[in-house]
Each structure stands twice: as C-alpha cells, then as structure tokens.
Structure 1
C-alpha cells in the first residue's frame, strides 16, 4: 500500500468557475487551497488575474497567491518547490490539500516532477539570441512550429523565453521538449492525486469570458495597470505581457482605444481558454464535471480520500 500523501487537483480553463467551486470543496473537505496560477502569484495584479478576493480568501486558507513582485522571475521549478512546501504544511495540519488553477504546466510539474536540461551549449543559446535580435520572435516561433509543433501550439507567439528554451533543447538534443517531458513523466511523483476538471458548453464559457472582461474594466482594471506602471514596473516584463495587462498598457500608451483593447482582450482570453482545455483534455485521468456538480464532486473526492487503492476511485 502506498504511503504517499493524497492531494486533490481542481483544473479547468479561465472563467469556468474554479474559485467558487474550490471554496465550496475546501469547506466541505476541511481543506486548504494551493494556487496553481502563473499570474496570481504576483502582488499588485489583482483584477486582471481574477485573483480570489480578500473576502473569498478569508473563507478558507489560500497559499501561493501574492508571493512575488511583478518583476521577480518565477518558473515551474520554483512553483514546485513552493507548492510542495505548502502541501506539506497543509498535510501537517491534517487538512486536505486542494491544488486549484489553470496553469497546466505547474500542475503537471507538481504531480510528476519537471524535466531539467541545464547543460545546453552556450553557443546554441547565443546563436538563438542573435537570431532573435535580427529576425524577431515571430520568425523563431515559426521555426518552433516546424520542429516542435506541439509545444508551439501551447505557447503564445510572443512568449520569447519559452520559445527560446524549446528551440535550445531541440537544437541541443535533436528532440522536442515534449518528448523529453514524456520520458521524464512521473519519475518524481510524490503524491497520490485525484484530478477534477471543470468544463461547460463552449458558448456559455465564451459568454462568461466576455462578461468577466467587461466586469474587470468596470472594477478599475485600467487603473490597476496604470498603478503598476507608476510603481516603475516596465511594460516589457513577462508579467506585464500577459493577457489583459498588455492590452491595457496599449490603452495607457495611446496605442489603442479602450474599446479596441477590450475586444482584443476578449478574443485572446477565449483563445487562451481553448488552449487550456486542449492541455487538460490530453490527460485521461481527469474526471470532468460541470460547475453545478459541487455535491457530486465532494462525494467522489471523499471516496478517494478514504480509499486505500489506486489514484482514482
């Protein structure tokens, strides 16, 4: 019988209703929520990340929210260290760890470890940097689509860091990063996990996304972004290039009207939600439910928590 601790994962696309669902689960299971969102880690970025409100966080303990400033680097390996520490603390308190978020890479790394290749030839990195300077990120993204279309399909075309990293690994090893990750999968799996996914009809989700973007603007999202710029955070930061923030920067810099920016933000958020669902649907172990099935979710998770067998009930 495995002695690995059990954790619950709640995944799903943006705007599907994870926050409210997770709070209900945590209350029913006597659990604590551990964030798995690459943007909610940042302080001062609240509205645009749809961060749980102070009132929501007061209902159950939350971890891995507001742990970095917007100009501090943070990647999946750092997330794993922080999340595993938080999981250990929650278990020590005899509570149920509930990992909640839409950043699939963070969840995958937490459950199965993260592929590391630290010995890329510096000459490869320098050559790719020169290509970036001379050709631009669009050309490198097209190159990545040719050698590793699966990774390219998961990345934003302007995600310079990850595009360069994927190309580095391909040029150094002759294999796409996805192949390395598959070979490494679950070599470092410290938990017995149960993953629940939330989903809804696409049209309903897209309507929720559109309404949420409108609500963000009404709540003061442009002012939040202006405050970040006034604090000295550059618009070129990785955090400031994320969906919503880059759109509001364009408004503040007079590169776009608010109406235009909102329309593009809605479109980009819908596309992001589609990529998230593609990622999570690739995992055959996810149990999918609608946001209205909180009671059924609680029942099936309780069976998992009290069962001595395999990962899923």
Structure 2
C-alpha cells in the first residue's frame, strides 16, 4: 500500500560540503521552527573527537536538541546501516512530538541512505575478504582492480584504482551474490521514498569556500586540535583507525615529528579543500537541493521551510 504524501514524516535537510556553516544555519532557524537536529556526519558519532570533526559545541547543543553525536568510543566501528537503524526511530519520535527533524551534515551517503534506504547487498564475509587481500598481495598492486574491471566494469569506473576497501567490497558482493554491485544498486535505485524532504545547502563560490576552510583549520588548531589528538593517542594508540582520517592523521604526523607545525596546517587545509571539492561534486548531482547564500538570503530559507510545511 502506497503511503499518502500527507502521512509521511516531513524532514528538513541541511547538507553540503565541509566548512559551509551547516550547523550555524540550522541553529539560526530554531527561533522560527521547532527543530531537532540529527547529525549526518560519519565521525561525529565518536566521543572525544570534537574539534577535528567540527562537532556542535555544548553551547550550540543547548540551543536545540542534537542527536547522533557522541554515540561510541573512537576504537569502535560504526556503519551506514547502523546510522539508519538508529536515526529512523529518531525521525519518527521527533515528528510524533510535533517537532521537525532537521538532518544536518556532509556525509552524503548517510543522508541518501537515511532518506531512501540501502540496496539489499550481502553482508561482509571475513574469510572471503582475507582471500581477496591475499590475492592482491600475491599478484601485486592492481590485481583486484583488474578483476573488478572484468566482472563489474560499471563499478570499476566509480572506484579509484587505489581504493582497496571499495574494490574488495565490490568483488565481495559479486562473488557472494553472483550479481554486479552496480546492477544491484541500479535495481534498488534508492527508490524507496518514506519521507517528505526539503533539502537546503549553503552556497559559496569555490574561492569563498576554500577561504572558509583555511580559516576554520586555523581556528581548529587554535581551539586545541593538537591536544585533542594527543589525548586520543595517549588513551588508545597512534594506529587508532579514527586517527587516520582527515585532520587527525596530519596532527599524528606532527606528533611523530614527521612534519612541522606549518606543514601540518598547510596539509590539513589542502586535504580539506580536496575533500570539500569531492563533496561538492556529490551534492551537485542531487537535483532536489535548494542552494542558498545563507548570509544574504536567509529569508529564502525561511520561506522555503514555511512553504514546505504548509504543503
């Protein structure tokens, strides 16, 4: 039975690249709308990783309820499937209390999967993954990518030849299901539409975005990012998987005396700009996003939400 549009939960999404002020935009709307914020950031689920993930401060969290942050310790695993399993009941609960769920974040896959569901792919198989990695080791770099090009060329065009994690996953799906991962995803097509959604994204020119990223990186270091990473290293280790992510890995290199402070700053800025560029490419493909200059067109944001809620 198809759910009537009026019966679906209404959700506001504020998405876009890192450094665009998504949290600030969401908080600026709290006086106008009864929003509760659901973070869609793959790293903000970790406790003790606050500065480097640009997590909402305690003062910001006091402005409006925040969900899906500080869920697990940095040495624990968290998947997109777990994000969906924990977030969807929140959407229902917030809506039932006559509040508006506002999904805020830059992890595009999390947002897409939350709103539309995931393709029904086989679960991970540790033994098969081990065999595949051994094949790569014995055959040399590029062996598995060549396999992928042979069995699923469509997926191969979407995966970088050096991204061994995604290559192994695509091959794993093929060998376990007998079907191409690209075909399974196309069949699913993220077609499930259980919600009414308004997507907004702060819009900046490329030069403006890069300048914001450069400034924010300096602010993160000023706010104590190095001390945050040092505390994580002391509690866990330099090999902690979460410390191999953007912003943290560069500080780890600094703590290991592999680079100096100036190089650390420059590297974080450079790699964050590159990441933002990839995010921008992802979100520009989402045709239903309304791009707004939140600094000069806040009235458009408010009007868009009001019209959406009245529909």
TM-score (norm 1): 0.87
**1:126 aligned to which of 130, 149, 153:** 130
**1:91 aligned to which of 90, 95, 103:** 95
What is the alpha-carbon distance in structure 2 between the residues aligned to residue 166 and residue 5 of structure 1? Answer: 33
Cα RMSD (Å):
2.5
Structure 2 unaligned residues grouped into runs of 5+: none
What is the alpha-carbon distance in structure 1 between the residues aligned to residue 201 and residue 186 of structure 2? Answer: 21
Output one character per residue of 1:254-284: Cα deviation in whole Å (capped at 9) or x when no partner. Answer: 2222221221111110110011111111111
Q: Which residue of 1 aligns with 2:107?
A: 103
State the Cα distance separating 1:235 from its structure 2 match: 3.3
The answer as to whether partners of 2:148 and 2:170 remain within 8 angstroms in 1 is: no
Output one character per residue of 1:224-271: Cα deviation in whole Å (capped at 9) or x when no partner. Answer: 000001112x33333211101111111111222222122111111011
Q: Which residue of 2 aligns with 1:255?
A: 258
**2:158 aligned to which of 151, 155, 158:** 151
Q: Which residue of 1 aligns with 2:60?
A: 56
The answer as to whether partners of 1:34 and 1:63 remain within 8 angstroms in 2 is: yes
Residues 1:10 and 2:17 aligned together: no
Output one character per residue of 1:161-184: Cα deviation in whole Å (capped at 9) or x when no partner. Answer: 444213323555676644432321
Name the SS of the counterpart of 1:91 in structure 2: helix
Q: Which residue of 2 aligns with 1:206?
A: 210
Q: Which residue of 2 aligns with 1:283?
A: 286
The answer as to whether partners of 1:36 and 1:99 remain within 8 angstroms in 2 is: yes
Instruction: Give the aligned length.
Output: 302
TM-score (norm 2): 0.88
What is the alpha-carbon distance in structure 1 between the residues aligned to residue 60 and residue 96 of structure 2? Answer: 23
The answer as to whether partners of 1:120 and 1:172 remain within 8 angstroms in 2 is: no
What is the alpha-carbon distance in structure 2 between the residues aligned to residue 144 and residue 193 of structure 1? Answer: 39
What is the alpha-carbon distance in structure 2 between the residues aligned to residue 177 and residue 278 of structure 1? Answer: 22
What is the alpha-carbon distance in structure 2 between the residues aligned to residue 10 and residue 120 of structure 1? Answer: 31
